[in-house]
Amino acid sequence: MEKIVVFQDQKIRRTFHKGEWWFSIIDIVEFLSKSNRPRKYWSDLKSKLKDHEDFEVSAKIRQFRLLAPDGKSRETDCANIETLFRIIQSIPSPNANKFKLWLAKVGKERIEEIENPELAQDRVKD
């Protein structure tokens, strides 16, 4: 199941896999870094995380086929929320705190929906 969520007018692709949401890292890097080359930024960040912060990214991320802006389905690096927070910590940006708060809000909503399934039904109706 693939969905797009919007955070401050930025589309963030995500997919649901084995009981958890996986978010497109490129979409998040683009938003947080404001880089016009988010794939290059992500490539450099992966190296930095591995070499300087002893965080093996390849063991923590997965690739999923997500719909790209050009309408084609492509393999995309994705991270679950735990790994995403670790990646976000490594991006120097004032947008990072806003994004962390948004992810916490989304997580809280889903936990509430698990505890009270009627909330999920209401959200779908809205």
What pLDDT score was predicted for residue 100? 75
Distances (CA, A) of 27 to 69, 110, 126: 11, 21, 25
Predicted confidence at residue 2, as pLDDT, reads 55
∠ CA(68), CA(83), CA(112), 5° rounding?
90
Cα(92)–Cα(59) distance, rounded to whole angstroms? 23
pLDDT digits (tens, 9 = 90+) for 9-50: 778 899 999 999 999 999 999 988 888 999 999 999 988 888
* pLDDT of 1 higher than 80: no
Taking a C-beta distance cutoff of 8 angstroms, is the pair 81, 16 a contact?
A: no
pTM: 0.71
Structure confidence at residue 4 (pLDDT): 62
pLDDT digits (tens, 9 = 90+) for 64-86: 999 988 889 999 999 998 898 88
Query: What is residue 125's predicted lDDT score, i.e. its pLDDT?
Result: 76
pLDDT confidence of residue 80: 94
